[in-house]
Structure 1
Amino acid sequence: MRASKSPKLHFAIMIMIVLVWLMAYPIARSLVPDTTFSEPFDKIYNGLNVLFTALAFGGVISTLLFQVEESKVARREEIERSIFELFQTFTSLEFQHVKDCSFRALLAAVKNREYAEFLASRLFVVEQLPFPVASTATLCELDEAKKNKSEEDMVHADRADRLMLDNMLNFFAMLAQRESSATVIKHCDFAYDWWRPVLWLIGQLQQERYASSEVIRKYCKNQLIVVTLKSLDSIYGHGPLKTREEIWEYITHHPKLIAFGLDHRFQALTGCKAG
């Protein structure tokens, strides 16, 4: 379709120019004195000169129109390719493992505030908190494979889940930065409504650690989760969470987090009661 459309447009422009040129002589003949056309050679030469100039100009116009059309087609192809690639990634069996491990780590943070603080600290290279042994019961509740493991093995198993969470965070960061994200999301929403409350919980804890530590601000320049979430919220049409109070109000009152068993100790961050 693209190959046939441009030649037709180019041909139409050329025909229009020739028609205008053919009409120019009789119109000019009726408007100016006869003496203007007394020299036949000059008349033919000037007429051909005007024609070729007009054809050249028409060629430039048709080329510009063709380039605009090519740009639109390339843009559509880029969006379609983005949809296909991201959908393939998100629905692959390998990435399903990434999602399962990531959500398991986030649910542990929802159920256990100590683990949530630990998880947020591990998103920075400095001032990392030690593994909270008290959260072992929560981790075992969410993952049968962690039961009866030694403390050392538990730490290694938890690290594996957190590495998968890093991959998931990178996926959402990549999605938020794509120019075609809004169009892509119309075709595949990537279950963002499920991820949004748990990610905001960890993102806000990370933000607060960053704001309270000069050492972290000095040595850590990676993008904070809240930057990604604000971009995705805008794309998905969620109302912006502008203040700390609004964010914790959203987290502590979210029906899904309450159903997941939100640790009551998070209420201390807002001074309000859930549900």
Structure 2
Amino acid sequence: MNSNSGDGRKTILNLIMIVFALIFGVWLGAWYFGVQPSMKEITEQPLSDVFNSVNALFAGCAFGGVILTIYLQLKELQDTREELAKTATANHDMAIANLKMAAHANEKSVLDLFQVYCSDYFQTVKDSSMSVLIPAVACRGYCEFVVSRFFVAEQLPFPEGCWNKVSNASYCESLEEFKKEEQRYRYKLDELLNFFTLLSGQSNSDEVIRRCDFSYSWWRPLFWMLTLIQRERFESSDKIQKYSTPLFLESMVKDLDRIYGFSAFESDEEAWSYILNHPKVLTYGVDPAWSLTRSID
């Protein structure tokens, strides 16, 4: 770039020198012709007339230069408009390309999540999560214990008396085995909930999410059960609200409901009726304690 700029300045200087040389040559020529004896036969003031004609020539050239300058400026303005139009078109095309790339990136992220969901490792995550969720249906006390662990404040102790209800919904042979395994299962449940939170955040890829079988209709009643208990616990305690992060499950399930086309619940009673009368939930053995404060009708 510096070399090209230097060459351009040299060219301009050479042109200026040539122009000045031509002007000086014309001026000398005018003197030469003006002092010639033969010029006196044509005019009484040869030198003055020659220079007047030279002045007229330069005046005409100057006027022509002005016209040429205006033309060049108009041409440059037109070229500038064309370049701006090309730039605007290029920016528009780039914006469209960026949108397509963003959409492709969102779709790819959904497909990546689907591959994770179908992986052998994530199958253990789903199995472990069900080892928490099914006992949570079978024992209300255990469900509230699980939800309390979502918060850093006012966590409930493990309900020792839940085993009679949980034993029919667990693969564990004893309460000691269940207490030993269920913490590991709850960690896997956290992974599952984080996975679906990430999925619900892919707001620009609803169609791709609907086409992939993430089995949300199976998880939906169980996720809503955790959501309602989490909200009740959060709203009932100033200490939890002070030290804990805002609710995340409710926004997740609402986003997924919208993506999969489920109708929104008009009230908590309607949501509990849906949960506790869900055909799949009923097969897990619903704790009668739910009917004390929840509508099952």
* TM-score bracket relative to the smaller structure: 0.7 to 0.9
1:181: Cα distance to partner?
Answer: 4.4
1:51-87 CA deviation, whole Å, 9 max, x = no partner?
4234212321221222123213212321232122111
Bigger drift between 202-211 and 94-103 goes to 202-211
| CA shift in 2, pair 1:48/1:215, >3 Å | closer
Partner residue, 1:112: 139
Partner residue, 2:17: none
1:98-117 CA deviation, whole Å, 9 max, x = no partner?
11111221111111212112
Alignment of 1:220 with 2:247, yes or no, is no
Computing the radius of gyration over CA atoms, which structure comes out larger, 1 or 2?
Answer: 2
Q: Which runs of 5+ in 1 are unaligned?
A: 1-38
Match of 2:157 among 111, 122, 130: 130
Whole-angstrom CA distance in 1 between matches of 2:158 and 2:96: 57
Match of 2:107 among 60, 80, 91: 80
1:253: Cα distance to partner?
Answer: 2.4
Contact kept in structure 1, 2:107 and 2:205, CA below 8 Å: no
User: Structure 2 matches for 1:1-275, cutoff 5 A?
Assistant: 41=68, 45=72, 48-144=75-171, 146-147=172-173, 149=174, 151=176, 153-273=177-297
Whole-angstrom CA distance in 2 between matches of 1:247 and 1:150: 31
User: Could you tell me the TM-score, scaled by structure 1's length?
Assistant: 0.75
Question: Percent of counterpart pairs with the same letter?
Answer: 32
Supply the RMSD in Å over aligned alpha carbons: 2.5
The letter of the residue matching 1:120 is: V
| CA shift in 2, pair 1:240/1:69, >3 Å | same
1:139: Cα distance to partner?
Answer: 4.2
1:252: Cα distance to partner?
Answer: 2.2
1:170: Cα distance to partner?
Answer: 1.0
The letter of the residue matching 2:101 is: A
Q: How many residues align?
A: 233
Q: Which runs of 5+ in 2 are unaligned?
A: 1-65
